[in-house]
Amino acid sequence: MTPTIASLAALVLSVTAMAALSLAMDRHYAHVFGQPEPPRLHRIALRTVGWFMLAASLWPCVEGWGLGVGLVAWCAWLAVASQAVTLVLSYSPNRSPQSRRHRAKR
């Protein structure tokens, strides 16, 4: 696997993992879906998928660069992915019912 393809695969898997893990939290789930908290089954599924994708994102890095550099690249892609998800959640329009009422009062 070439380093370019490994980078792209690791980034996609890392962003998916971080998004799933963040949606397992009450605050972010309410922000995106407008419900106060995720159902128990959704929370478990999101956490499971998130951790599985985090583990899976290590493979392309190790495959593309070897163990020593692959672990460092994986940590870097995790940092990039977490910042990307944070920016999307922070700057996306709030869809929760409370924010709609707040905007309607203005």
Report the run of H or E that residue 100 belongs to, with start and end: helix 97-105
Q: Which domain holds residue 28?
A: 3-105
Q: Spell out the per-residue pLDDT of the chain, length 106, in tens.
A: 888 999 999 999 999 999 999 999 888 888 888 777 788 998 999 999 999 999 999 999 999 999 999 999 999 999 999 999 998 888 776 655 555 554 555 5
Tokens of 46: 């999101």
Q: How many CB atoms lie within 10 A of CB 10?
A: 28
Grouping H, G, I as helix, E, B as strand and the rest as coil, residue 74 is: helix
What total number of domains does the chain contain?
1
What is the pTM for the complete model shown?
Answer: 0.82
